Structures are given as structure tokens and as C-alpha cells.
Structure 1
Amino acid sequence: MELKGKVAYITGGSKGIGYGVAQRLLEAGMKVAVSGRNLDSVTKAARKLGTEENVLALESDVTKLEDENNAISQIVAKWGSVDVVLANAGVGHFAPVDQLSDDHWHQMMDTNLTGVFHTLKASVESLKKSKGYYITLASLAGTNFFANGAGYNASKFGVVGFTQAAMLDLREYDIKVSTIMPGSVATHFNDNEPSEKDAWKIQPEDIGDLVLDLLRMNPRTLPSKIEVRPTRPDKK
């Protein structure tokens, strides 16, 4: 894919992995729309990322299909197409399964799994036209289960399964579909405040580099499921 001038949409793009990927795509000459539930936060992030010519801030709650449809419509109205979509928005709540609340269960399913479906549902016709790329941000938690992670594991196992099946459904339209499954990343996830203590972790811009690698891959080749982890674990 020739990246200069291409259009990307990133959900959950105001910080963390979404923000790091946006930085890398902009450096490659792409135009990037970033969305989040809080328009003020997304607008501030967009101003740091670039100008109105190459960055668009959007308010969208991925749990609502109408919001995602509206986001795609705004992108097409501004730039004419959607070439790359990164379904990145996600939440996590961790507790033993007998203590996990119903609200937290549904927040994770509605955001992490249904949100991924909504983002694809809203963008798929545009991606058919552009023969674009749809990428989901899953997690190593989508293949490795752990105590206190029943709800989060279920949502991320679902994302991996959904994305792989969508890949089979959509490749007949020349749409490429991949899921990225990171281990520990230095983000604000789970109330973490990134600092020097997180230097051993994957950095958000590293995921951005990985996304660029996928976009630059020869179109005959599709890395459909990518596991990525820190080279060395934290020394306790």
C-alpha cells in the first residue's frame, strides 16, 4: 500500500496504543481520524498530533453502531475514503469470576467485542471500495487465560475469533484483516501511569511500527494474527 495521502481511522485514539499508532501513520504521510467517547480529550490529542488538514477528532462510543456510522460518514465527507481502520478501543476489569460485577462484564463485552463488530460494520463498505485494511487490537489475553481475567479473557478470545473469521469473509473483496495481540504495553490501561518503571514494556509507538509493517507488506501476503511481547520481562 502506498501510504502517503491514505486515510486511517483509529478508535480509542486519544492516548496509549491508539495515539502511538496515529503518530507513526502521520509520520508516514497518512491522514488520521481518531475517536473516543470524550470529545475534549480527543480534540486535545488531535491538536498534539497534527493539523486540521491531516488529523480529525471524532466523538464516538463504539458500543453504539450509530456513533460509528456517523464517524465513518464524517471521515468520508472530509477526505473521500477510508483505507485503514484500527479497532483499538478497549476496557479492562479484573476480579475473580464470582466477584466480577454484571456491569463490568457488560462494559468489557460491549466495548472490547461488540465495539469491534460495530467499527467493522460501519466501515466495511468503505473498505470494500478502497480495498483497505481492517486491524483489531486484541491481546495475549486472547490466547492465554489467567486468574481474575475471566471477563477480559472472554472478550479478547472473542476478538481473536471474530477477526480471524472476518478475515475469511472479507478477503474475497481484497480487504486485508489482521489482529494484533500485544503483551505488556506502557499505557494508561488499568489505571497505570506510564513512567520509567514501564521502560521494559512494549511502547505504543512500537505497535505503530508494527502497523506500518503490516501496511507495507506485499499484498499477496497476510500476517493474520500477530503475537507481540516484551523481549525480556520485568526484573522483580
Structure 2
Amino acid sequence: MIDLKGKVAYITGGSKGIGFGVAQKLTGAGMKVAISGRTLKTVKKAAEYLGDENNVLALESDVTKLEDEKKAIQRIVETWGQLDVVLANAGVGNFAPVDELSDEKWHQMVDTNLNGVFHTLKASVEPLKKSKGYYMTLASLAGTNFFASGAGYNATKFGVVGFTQAAMLDLRKYDIKVSTIMPGSVATHFNGNEPDDTDAWKIQPEDIGDLVLDLLKMHPRTLPSKIEVRPTRPDKK
């Protein structure tokens, strides 16, 4: 997939943060990009910043619902005739000691972070078989490093890493590449953060976009299936 011009990508949770940063880089490389989120008005506003309607598609989809993802993929294929790249990026984080973590917040993370990546793959796998495409998940360093008050988040991100690696083994016979990206601290609105100058030490969303481009431009024979990425130097607090 070294020549990216005209290729079609789908990014869940693409209206802000990492998803939006990746979308900016992919449209800049000449790709057609569909972004989705739960609120269409918000997604449309983000799409306006990315490019004209011939190259950017705004979709309303809740990844916790398989039917939503099927409709989103159908719309993409009907609009552009193909699907080459999928980034399952949508995610939430609720942090509390396990004895204080509510059932509602636990299931919100499981439904979005873990069930969501399955739904996105399930909905997109047939078009990806046709294009010999690329499926990526956005995991986290929390998918290999556990921490206090992270029981629910750790559980889902450990699951995403395991799911993606197993899917990679299942799908490579179709020449579908599958990778999981595991960032450390990223300057986004995640968990109520409002990015500002104090986040300058963190990975920036566009840095993940550059990483995705690097993966797409890699020779088809080579697959970095699990990528850990972290700030060069941590906060000095």
C-alpha cells in the first residue's frame, strides 16, 4: 500500500484527538477518509476542517452496536467503491479503584474499547479481503502495563492487544495486514483533559498520524504487528 493516493480509510472516533490527527495526515497524503462518532453534528464539523466532501465523509456510528458499524461500512463502499484501511480508534477511560468502579462504567469501557474493535472488524473484514487492506486498533501502553485504579481500562486494553494479535494471525492468509498501536501519554481530550502548553511533552495526535502513514508505506512483505510508542522524555513533575 505504498501508493496511498485515492485509497480509502475509515477511522472510528475520528472527530477529535488521535482519530482526527490521523485523519489529517491521511487526507494530506491524498487518501479519501471517512470518520465516525456518536454525534453526527460533531463529526460533520470535524469533517469540514479535513477537506471537501469528495474526499471526506462524516458518519454517525456507535461502535458498541454492530449494526451501526455495518451501516457505516456500507455507506463508505457505496460512496467510494472500496475500503483499504480501518483504524478502530474509538475508546473511553474510567479510572477508579476496583472496589469503587461502578458496573455502568465497567460495561461502558468493555462495550466501547473491546466490543467496539470487534464490531468494527466484523463489519469491515469482507471489503478488506477484497482490497488486501490494513486493519489497525488503537490500544495503549495500558494494554501491557497495569496500574492502580486502572482495572477496567487495563482489562479492555489488554484485551484489545490480544484480540488484534490473534486477528492478525487469522487474517494474514487473506493478505490483510493487522497491527495494534500502543501509545503512552498523548495530548488529547481523553478523560476530561483540555490540551494546552503543559501537554507539549506528550505525544501529539499528528505524531500517531505519521506513525500510521509509516505503517501504510512499509513494504507489503513486512508487518510491525504491535507498536509501542511513548514520549521521548516524561513530564518532569
For Structure 1 versus Structure 2, the TM-score category normalised by the shorter chain is over 0.9
For the residue of structure 2 that corresponds to 1:135, the secondary structure is: strand
Paired position in structure 2 for 1:69: 70
Question: What corresponds to 2:130 in structure 1?
Answer: 129
The match for 2:168 is 167
Which residue of structure 2 lines up, in the alignment, with residue 184 of structure 1? 185
Are positions 1:144 and 2:153 aligned together?
A: no
Q: Which amino acid aligns with 2:206?
A: E
Measured in 2, the distance between the counterparts of 1:40 and 1:199 equals 29
Q: Deviations over 1:91-120 (max 9, x none)?
A: 000000000000000000000000000000
CA distance in 2, matches of 1:136, 1:165: 12
Paired with 1:18 and 1:51, the residues of 2 have a C-alpha distance of: 18
Match of residue 55 from structure 1:
56
The aligned counterpart of 2:116 is: 115
Give 1:205's aligned residue: 206
Q: CA deviation at 1:141?
A: 0.1
Q: Partner of 1:79 in structure 2? A: 80
CA distance in 1, matches of 2:143, 2:52: 36
Equivalent position SS for 1:86: strand
Matched, 1:233 2:234: yes
Structure 1: which amino acid aligns with 2:78? A
DSSP 3-state at the match of 1:144: coil
Q: Distance in 2 between matches of 1:52 and 1:86?
A: 20
Shift of 1:52: 0.3
Structure 1 vs Structure 2: percent identity of aligned residues? Answer: 83
Return 5+ residue gaps in structure 2 as ranges: none
Equivalent residues, number? 236
Instruction: Tell me the TM-score normalised to structure 1 length.
Output: 1.00
**Structure 1 residue 212: deviation in Å?**
0.2
Deviation of 1:215 after TM superposition, in Å, equals 0.2
Runs of 4+ in 1 over 3 A off after TM superposition: none
Structure 1 residue 132, shift from structure 2 partner: 0.1
CA RMSD, aligned part only? 0.3
Deviations 1:201-232, CA, capped at 9 Å, x for gaps: 00000000000000000100000000000000
Superposed CA deviations along residues 10-41 of structure 1, whole A, max 9, x for unmatched, are 00000000000000000100000000000000
Distance 2:39 2:185 in 1: 25
Counterpart in 2 of 1:30? 31
- Equivalent residues in 2 for 1:90-101, closer than 5 Å: 90-101=91-102
DSSP 3-state at the match of 1:219: coil
SS at match of 1:58: strand
The letter for the 2-side match of 1:203 is Q
Return the alpha-carbon distance in structure 2 between the equivalents of residues 63 and 51 of structure 1.
29
Give the deviation of 1:151 after TM superposition: 0.1
How far residue 169 of structure 1 moved from its aligned partner, in angstroms, is: 0.0
Q: Give the TM-score taking structure 2 as reference length.
A: 0.99
